[in-house]
Chains A and B, each alone.
Chain A
């Protein structure tokens, strides 16, 4: 009986060794390893949504022309086109408290309930403003827009003017 038990143990030992060897053989080879498409897997998502956008058209006279976008991250892009201190591309950072205050100010004037345009396209050489808050865009001239809207845009201008700007050379 002892001999039978000994033989059983030997088989059990040999079988377990074979099993471990088999496991090692089944480890995937380099041919089995799927290498992901490097370009797809390495695309970093730097999406940053615009919260405010303001574009002020220049005119034939001395009126300033500039465009800026304030992003959700607080980053601000500025392009000065004509008659402004900051010509060409600039960037700055806005702190979250200031951005939140601007959003509140836009909501307080009922921005999203305003008309889409306060604009007479037949009036020549009157500089137009385009302002966008989230998805709502308004095109206006100063003389036709509600006072609250023009004051809000000028307040936003003053806010971004106070930022620390860095020129971006192309």
Chain B
């Protein structure tokens, strides 16, 4: 069911000024925006002004508008999943070259009713990750700024300790950074 943006709160008003009148239009608009970090992660308006966003800012932007409009069935989820060369082919052999099967990675997406939706890019699909999700956490839009990074780093620290791994946190994080560089084509 499509829903109209009726809230008079700032982000919904801003979206309507850009011609976004309902939920479907909002999801389509955000999904086609280019991938890229905004200059201030805490300012969700920038997804519209800078016409780009990451998984965090794009999904938090939709969640914020959902909060403004009282769409309580739209949830913002941080999922920790096993990132490997199968579900994320663009990282190449970075992880296996370091003697690992996977690295826990954090990803944001939406849960609308029972459906999980990843609108990070036009090609994104939650199905690519669904079998590799280790844990999921529901958060508010305002928490996306630093909370995701903090949660992710704590998860990796616990994972290293529980598996009595030889690698330090800094080493694992550096491998993860190389994967992200490959993903963003840097």
Contact = CB atoms under 8 A, between A and B. Distances in A.
How large, as a class, is the contact surface on chain B? Answer: 20 to 34
Contacts of A170: 149
Contacts of B42: 55, 67-69, 77, 79
B132 to A, nearest CB: 11
Contact of B138 (A45, A50, A79): A45
Contacts, number: 81
B139 A90 contact: no
Nearest to A80: B40
B162 interface: no
Tell me the interface secondary structure of chain B in the complex: mixed
Contact of A91 (B40, B77, B130, B146): B146
Interface stretch (A21-29, A36-44, A105-113, A156-164): A36-44
B135 interface: yes
Given A67-B40, A137-B10, A39 B142 contact: no
A134 B75 CA distance: 20
A79 B135 contact: no
B140 A81 contact: no
A168 B41 contact: no
A39 B146 contact: no
Interface string B106-145: 0000010010100000000000001001011111101101
Interface string A38-65: 0110111111111001010000000001
Given A48-B140, A67-B43, A69-B42, A43 B77 contact: yes
A119 interface: no
18 contacts: A39-B130, A42-B136, A43-B111, A43-B136, A45-B138, A47-B140, A48-B147, A50-B142, A69-B145, A71-B142, A77-B143, A77-B145, A77-B146, A78-B146, A79-B145, A89-B146, A168-B153, A169-B149
Given A43-B137, A48-B143, 19 more contacts: A39-B133, A42-B136, A43-B75, A43-B136, A43-B138, A44-B138, A47-B138, A48-B139, A69-B145, A71-B143, A77-B145, A77-B146, A77-B147, A79-B145, A81-B39, A89-B149, A168-B149, A168-B150, A168-B153
Interface of A: 39-40, 42-50, 53, 55, 65, 67-69, 71, 75, 77-79, 81, 89-91, 137, 168-170
